[in-house]
Structure 1
Amino acid sequence: MVVECHAPGGDLAVSQGVLARTVDALSIPADVASQLDTLRRKAEEPGWWQDYGDILSEAVQMLIELETDASWIRTYEGEVIPGLLQTRDYAERVITAVSPHIRVSDIDRYLELRMKRQKRLREGQRLTAIVGEAAIRQQVGGPAILCEQLRHITRVVREHDVTVQIVPFTADAHAALGDSFVIIQWPDEADPEAIYVDGVTSWTVHERDGVIRSYLHAFGSVQSQALPARESLDLIHDVIKDLR
């Protein structure tokens, strides 16, 4: 049996009374009923990101909601440093370039939101990021900003449960070419992963087994072409030296 509890604004909110009657009717064990009630109450609580609802797209709200409870995030980005690893200065340049019509008054709020998303890494969330070499070489914001961005990556890898692997320019073709995506996994390994794919004009969250298997294959394919973690950090250090 699967019981879904949705946050306000969703299709369905499970009240305490409805849940109690369901527990009685189905003779659900007390420990399971307690877990369901915890989920129900949690679903009624607004997420912290809802404070930014006036500037967030539905896609980004969905991604943050999925990230919040995740235990392990795997991501592939070919040309840009992943958001969870971006410094404020690098993020500002990316945001203003991608969204040229953004209101100046909203830029600080977007940056604040992006920095808040990174809090879960400091709380022990695991991150595996596969990044194309182009992302660590393109001088987004100029040499100084990129240099500090790369130093930040080395610090995060050293201090948290974060692995970064670089796909070098010399790598062969792989199943993730031209794509970028996030694989989100929750603490209960029995729960299936979710795949978040965000493009310029559309976004999708995949939860079907067949699609998940395809993206897990793509991630394994690109990871097989990436440098090992230690060699990736060596390459990052080489780029930092070149930027000085």
Structure 2
Amino acid sequence: MTLRRLREQAGLSSTEAARQVDHDGSWLSRIETAEVRPHPNDVRALLGLYGVAGKQAEAVIAVARQARQRGWWQRYSEVLPEWFVTYVGMESEASVIRSYQCQMVPGLLQTEEYARAAFRGAPIPMRDSELEQQVALRMDRQAVLGTDDQPVLRMILDEAAVRRVVGGPKVLRAQLDRLIADCDRTRVQIQILPFGAGAGFDGSFAILDFPPMPEPFPEAAEDRLVYVGTLTAALYLEQPAEVAAYSAAFEQLAAEALSPTASRDTLARIASDLAT
């Protein structure tokens, strides 16, 4: 986002800027949407082109160097569609993730067996080897939980998401036990939107907040975006009006959902019903 803003301030198109540092326009577009991590030397060349120098340039390069080291998900590039690579990269940098899920438990909180069953039941079939790589990626995404860098998670799950018997009763019971344990995690809040709340919201989405960059890093124009996944692509919404609409929808859903304590009790009751 920062590189795109600096390019726009310099009055250059992505094609023009990329050509002047010996790359094509699609390369720079992928960098600006976080699909690929640029080499620090490429960032230095772009900043020189944009007229950014001194401490400000070094701060940008330092962040690019750290981000390149954190790009662990690149080893899954063979099974990850480009549009989801963008999300995984942004998820790893977020300070707050607010997510509403109307059909499934969110990937960050799934058990391995639940994730495997979810991929196996997906509408687009995949080879066993690809399925196992997808499961491994989902588990690796959860490595941030419980660390000093863990983002704040505010998860609203429609009651349908925690009653849908993905993988069978045993798998769902283990998944519910996992969610109950997650309710006690620091920086994790889980709320259930009960059937009795009415229509709810017809579509899952996530809102990602990003931490401010250290001085003298240029002030970011955007620090929040909305992710809406589809079967074959994704929407990344950054316009203030779009983000505000989804943020308001999330807070309205949170107000209609059960409290975290009541949600934990509901999960325990559903799990107990499965056991009997």
**What is residue 216 of structure 2 aligned with on the other side?**
none
CA distance in 2, matches of 1:164, 1:83: 14
Q: Which amino acid in 1 is paired with 2:88?
A: I
Q: How many residue pairs were aligned? A: 238
Q: Deviations over 1:189-214 (max 9, x none)?
A: 96420111012243111111111111
**What is residue 148 of structure 1 aligned with on the other side?**
174
CA distance in 2, matches of 1:148, 1:21: 54
Q: Residues 75 and 181 of structure 1 are in contact (CA less than 8 Å); yes or no, is this contact kept in structure 2?
A: yes
Q: Deviations over 1:36-90 (max 9, x none)?
A: 1213334555711111111111222111011011111010001110111100101
CA distance in 2, matches of 1:15, 1:179: 39
CA distance in 2, matches of 1:209, 1:110: 33
Residue in structure 2 matching 1:116, options 124, 127, 140: 140
Please show how residues 35-50 of structure 1 align to structure 2 within 5 Å.
35-42=59-66, 44-45=68-69, 47-50=71-74
**What is residue 210 of structure 1 aligned with on the other side?**
241
CA distance in 2, matches of 1:181, 1:131: 11
CA distance in 1, matches of 2:234, 2:44: 36
**What is residue 35 of structure 2 aligned with on the other side?**
none
- What TM-score comes out, normalization by structure 1 length? 0.87
* Secondary structure in structure 2 of the residue aligned to 1:10: helix
Structure 2 unmatched runs, 5+: 7-13, 15-22, 32-37, 214-219
Structure 1 residues 17, 110: CA separation in 2 closer, same or farther (over 3 Å shift)? closer
Residue in structure 2 matching 1:183, options 196, 207, 216: 207
1:33 CA displacement = 3.2
- What TM-score comes out, normalization by structure 2 length? 0.78
CA distance in 1, matches of 2:47, 2:193: 52
CA distance in 2, matches of 1:84, 1:125: 11
RMSD: 2.7
Structure 1 residues 96, 67: CA separation in 2 closer, same or farther (over 3 Å shift)? same
CA distance in 2, matches of 1:222, 1:16: 41
CA distance in 2, matches of 1:19, 1:199: 33
1:101 CA displacement = 2.1
Q: Residues 19 and 37 of structure 1 are in contact (CA less than 8 Å); yes or no, is this contact kept in structure 2?
A: no
Q: Identity percentage over the alignment? A: 30
Q: Which amino acid in 1 is paired with 2:224?
A: E
Instruction: Work out whether 1:91 is the aligned partner of 2:110.
Output: no
CA distance in 2, matches of 1:17, 1:127: 34
List 4+ stretches of structure 1 deviating above 6 A. none
Residue in structure 2 matching 1:158, options 171, 184, 187: 184
CA distance in 1, matches of 2:108, 2:235: 19
CA distance in 1, matches of 2:47, 2:245: 40
Structure 1 unmatched runs, 5+: none
1:113 CA displacement = 0.3
